[in-house]
């Protein structure tokens, strides 16, 4: 008897294993019913119950040789009923049928209870997995939609910003052409303004090409000296700093920092950062260059207006300006930092910022050193 029970348990294991590979409840019930017929030597088996979340109590499965309209038997002379039950929750029953029902031992009856329990557990797990899967699919869909909406919003913002930015110099030029026509005496002044706006427009167009282009942009691999680039940049901005009463300090441990990169772009990147530090600065701008075996780090610090916590995550976005009203007079477009980010990334590096409103900002560019 023991031997036959252990064989039967092996059959139960098979049903449990099979139920784990099935992902719908009817397949699980089918596997358990067929296995129960084998384990308890029945002639047929059928299942009545409620197995789907929105199901009604019904005939869920019937094996061959089952009665045409199976129902709960009134007396149990020819049947064995296995409740599919897990703790308090009852899903239904497997009903096994016999021409000659054997006399089942206590062990057999205990095993039948285990079978019903295992079937109920498999169904419960399946319900949980199914609802989890549904929730995950829904969350995934929501995330995708949010990303798409975000991208669409950015695109729309970008187009409206770009249109505005390109139109502004054109409007100024038009106004000056009108002025020059109306009053030829002021034409020289008007031409100067027009000339400035043309420079601004063409700078903006080349910036736009840079920030909107993907990986196709070519970067030159010049062997250069980072310390020299930074000193060129600060020299170029000397009169601007002087005008703003700002003192620029350069700190570098090594005189020469050999680097392989695109000198024109790197100069542009540092120029944008130091120019910002002067524009939004206070009294001192510090440029600190350091290296280790792997990277070169350039820190540009100012003691100026700082950036608020809300604005800080947005400053590298194209066209973002914390204070839109102030910047136009300086020919600022809100593209500067997105160019900085792009150039740092083009060189395999990164840009980070720390800032406190009213105290100042520190922009740190880290660039990997490569062999020439």
By the criterion CB under 6 A, which residues form the site for ligand ADP? 272, 276-277, 280, 302, 304-307, 315, 320-323, 327, 332-338, 361
Query: What is the Cα–Cα distance from 361 to 353, expressed in whole angstroms?
Result: 7
Helix ranges, the chain (H): 2-21, 25-39, 106-182, 187-212, 226-236, 238-243, 263-279, 324-327, 336-346
Give the shortest CB-146-to-ligand ADP separation in angstroms: 25
- Pick between residue 155 and residue 328 the one whose CB is nearest to ligand ADP: 328
- Pick between residue 306 and residue 349 the one whose CB is nearest to ligand ADP: 306
Q: Cβ–Cβ contacts within 10 Å for residue 166, how many?
A: 14
Give the shortest CB-237-to-ligand ADP separation in angstroms: 13
- Pick between residue 124 and residue 364 the one whose CB is nearest to ligand ADP: 364
Give the shortest CB-315-to-ligand ADP separation in angstroms: 4
Give the shortest CB-205-to-ligand ADP separation in angstroms: 15
Give the shortest CB-338-to-ligand ADP separation in angstroms: 6
User: What 3-state DSSP class applies to 204?
Assistant: helix
- State the angle between helix axes of 106-182 and 2-21 in degrees (0 to 180), rounded to the nearest 10: 10
CB 323 within 8 A of CB 194: no
Helices then strands, counting H and E runs in the chain, come out as 9, 11
CB 248 within 8 A of CB 275: no
- Pick between residue 83 and residue 306 the one whose CB is nearest to ligand ADP: 306
- Pick between residue 362 and residue 369 the one whose CB is nearest to ligand ADP: 362
For 224, residues 6+ apart whose C-beta sits below 8 A from its C-beta are 258, 259, 260, 261, 263, 266
Give the residue nearest to ligand ADP (CB): 336
């Amino acid at each position: 008897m023991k031997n036959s029970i252990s064989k039967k348990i092996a059959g139960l294991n098979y049903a449990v294993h099979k139920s784990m590979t099935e992902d719908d409840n009817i397949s699980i019930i089918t596997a358990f019913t067929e296995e129960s017929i084998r384990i308890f030597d029945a002639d047929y088996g059928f299942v009545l119950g409620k197995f789907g979340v929105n199901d009604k109590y019904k005939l869920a499965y019937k094996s061959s040789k089952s009665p045409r309209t199976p129902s709960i038997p009134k007396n149990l002379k020819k049947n064995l009923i296995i409740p599919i039950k897990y703790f308090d929750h009852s899903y239904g029953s497997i009903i096994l049928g016999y021409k000659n029902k054997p006399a089942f031992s206590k062990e057999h009856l205990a095993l039948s209870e285990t079978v019903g329990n295992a079937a109920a557990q498999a169904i419960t797990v399946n319900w949980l997995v199914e609802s989890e899967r549904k929730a995950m699919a829904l969350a995934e869909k929501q995330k995708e939609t949010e990303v798409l909406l975000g991208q669409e919003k950015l695109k729309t913002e970008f187009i409206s910003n770009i249109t505005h930015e390109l139109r502004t110099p054109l409007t100024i030029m038009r106004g000056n052409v009108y002025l020059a026509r109306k009053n030829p005496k002021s034409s020289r002044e008007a031409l100067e303004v027009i000339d400035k706006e043309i420079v601004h427009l063409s700078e903006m167009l080349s910036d736009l090409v840079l920030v909107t282009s993907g990986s196709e942009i070519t970067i030159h691999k010049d062997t250069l000296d980072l310390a020299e680039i930074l000193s060129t940049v600060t020299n170029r901005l000397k009169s601007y700093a002087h005008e703003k009463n700002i003192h620029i300090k350069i700190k570098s441990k090594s005189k020469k920092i050999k680097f392989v990169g695109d000198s024109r772009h790197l100069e542009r990147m540092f120029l944008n950062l130091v120019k910002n530090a002067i524009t939004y600065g206070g009294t001192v701008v510090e440029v600190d260059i350091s290296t280790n075996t792997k990277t070169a780090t350039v820190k540009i610090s100012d003691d100026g207006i700082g950036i608020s916590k809300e604005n800080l995550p947005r400053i590298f976005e194209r066209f973002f300006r914390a204070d839109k009203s102030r910047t136009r007079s300086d020919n600022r477009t809100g593209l500067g930092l997105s160019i900085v980010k792009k150039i740092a990334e083009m060189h395999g590096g990164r840009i980070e910022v720390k800032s406190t409103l009213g105290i100042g900002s520190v922009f740190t560019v880290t660039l990997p050193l490569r062999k020439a």
